[in-house]
Amino acid sequence: MVFSSVLFLFRFLPIFMICYFLVPRNMKNLVLFLGSLVFYAWGEPVYIFLMLFSTISDFVWGRLIEEYRGEDRSRIFLLCSVVINLFILGFFKYADFLLQTVNTVFGTSIPLLGLPLPIGISFYTFQTMSYVIDVYRGDAKAQRNILQFGVYVTMFPQLIAGPILKYHQVERYLQDRHAGMETISYGVKRFVTGLAKKVLLANNLGLLWQQVSALEKSEMSVLMAWLGIAAFAFQIYFDFSGYSDMAIGLGAILGFHFPENFNYPYIAASVKDFWHRWHISLSTWFKEYVYIPLGGNRKGLPRQILNILIVWTLTGIWHGAGWNFLFWGLWFALFLILEKLFLGEILKNAPVVFGRVYTLAVVLISWVFFALEKPGEILAYLQAMFGLNGVGLVNSKALFFGNEYLVLLVIALIACLPLGNHLVHALRSSKTGPAMALYRLGEKVIPAALLVLSIAYIVDASYNPFLYFRF
């Protein structure tokens, strides 16, 4: 079940919300837990037992770690939890990838397992791991109520697309929470904004990428190649950030406060800055639970470079079981290391526009590795981007697609910039009557219009891709 579907919007969500708000406060966790299980089990009911196993397992490990804190047994229990979680994630996500690699390298014909990937396994595995690690560190107390812990693991608003929640970020909301009308209103608007990002922008820009990527790379002009990867860059941003907005909005309606996950990443002035703005919950997770424990920047430059390579190797393969994702991660590692060595200082002293152009170029090239899986396809597309396929800068197809999608691309570009936020802030802080009236009108009319347009698109459109099957 996905948020941008008739099933979710007109069946699951209304029924769930009615049940949730009708029951007394001491039963809301039970309704949220059962509703989340239904949401998760709708498409793949068998894997619900895997999620329940992870929930019960880490609940027990957390209790044991706290009970024997300061003893060697506590460390053993932590190790057991981490090993079990990584084994589950590795088995379902990477088993076939490893078997394929072995078959390719050694010429064997070991049959693949063909197991479908449990949706959201990368997210809830990281959440349960962060919980037991925090309990071991003493940053959180072990949860004594398994229902509350179950809500933390299975919560459907952010289960399939994040943001990745650390236990201490939501601990107090698991015990007691309240959503007033102002919070619910904010949540509805935030959800509608995310829904519009997904169905009006991401889906339509995805159509452009689908058409461009299907073309023969040997016949693709430079403009066409850059137009296509720009479309994918917009698609993945509005899809990912749209789902995060919807999660934050749903969380607010239910009385939770989820952290922000995106902060206008395409205005970043360095690769380091980009990863402070893109999928913030993931980058902070790797920083807190991998980079810093490895030593971070405390053990000299050579060790720091090694730590960066390790973190970004893991970040790459977290996104998918394929060599292209490994290359994608290492691509970012390369530029983060260069910025650490000398490039960062150059960017600080250069005009900000230089840093933004450089970062955007690095990111757009990275999306080629992310979007295309076969090495031959990746190489051919990169050749087209830099005019090495002999086609030239522009051809008639590029002009056709550019004209057809020009308005949408301009809207997407504007939506990537904080201009809207600046305008809203200016109107809201203005003391003049017309400005306040315009702000109040826009606050009501724009979300309503976006909701109507989004629903119309969902009902009518046949193209509604789900990008999170890898996670």
pLDDT score at 435 = 76
pLDDT score at 44 = 76
Mean pLDDT of 13-39: 95
Q: Positive or negative, the Cα torsion across 355, 366, 265, 298?
A: negative
CA distances from 86 to 89, 92, 94, 135, 309 (A): 5, 10, 11, 18, 20
pLDDT score at 430 = 76
pLDDT score at 104 = 86
CA distances from 5 to 14, 114, 176, 457 (A): 13, 27, 31, 10
Residue in this structure with the two tokens 């693991």, named with its chain if needed = 153
pLDDT score at 429 = 79
| Whether residue 120 has pLDDT greater than 80 | yes
CA 286 from chain centre, in angstroms, equals 14
Q: Report pLDDT digits (tens) over 335-346.
A: 999 999 999 999
CA distances from 347 to 296, 320, 333, 339, 344 (A): 22, 31, 17, 8, 5
Is 276 designated active site? no
Q: Report pLDDT digits (tens) over 321-377.
A: 889 999 999 999 999 999 999 999 999 999 999 999 999 999 999 999 999 989 999
- Print the SS3 string covering 335-394: HHHHHHHHHHHHHHHCCHHHHHHHHHHHHHHHHHHHHCCCHHHHHHHHHHHCCCCCCCCC
Q: Report pLDDT digits (tens) over 134-171.
A: 999 988 899 999 999 999 999 999 888 779 998 888 88
Q: Report pLDDT digits (tens) over 393-442.
A: 999 889 999 999 999 999 999 999 998 888 878 777 777 778 788 878 77
What 3-state DSSP class applies to 68?
Answer: coil
Between CA 416 and CA 31 the distance in angstroms is 37
Q: Where does the pLDDT of residue 470 fall: very low under 50, low under 70, confident under 90, or very high at 90 and above?
A: low
Q: Report pLDDT digits (tens) over 168-225.
A: 888 889 988 888 899 999 999 999 999 999 999 999 999 999 999 999 988 899 999 9
Name the packing angle between helices 121-137 and 48-67 (round to 10°). Answer: 10
Mean pLDDT of 74-78: 94
pTM for the predicted model, two decimal places: 0.94
CA 155 from chain centre, in angstroms, equals 16
pLDDT score at 119 = 83
Comparing 61-65, 149-153, 316-320, 425-429, the range with the smallest average pLDDT is 425-429
Averaged pLDDT of the chain: 91
Q: Report pLDDT digits (tens) over 244-285.
A: 999 999 999 999 999 999 999 999 999 999 999 999 999 999
What proportion of the chain, given as a percentage, has pLDDT over 90? 71
Q: Where does the pLDDT of residue 106 fall: very low under 50, low under 70, confident under 90, or very high at 90 and above?
A: confident
pLDDT score at 471 = 61
Name the strand (E) or helix (H) holding 23: none
pLDDT score at 468 = 67
Q: Where does the pLDDT of residue 382 fall: very low under 50, low under 70, confident under 90, or very high at 90 and above?
A: very high
Q: What is the dihedral of CA 342, 344, 350, 351, to 10 degrees?
A: 160
Q: Which residue among 178, 319, 422, 425 is the active-site one? A: 319
Q: Where does the pLDDT of residue 22 fall: very low under 50, low under 70, confident under 90, or very high at 90 and above?
A: very high
Q: Where does the pLDDT of residue 62 fall: very low under 50, low under 70, confident under 90, or very high at 90 and above?
A: very high
pLDDT score at 421 = 83
DSSP secondary structure letter of residue 293: T
pLDDT score at 371 = 94
Between CA 29 and CA 429 the distance in angstroms is 38
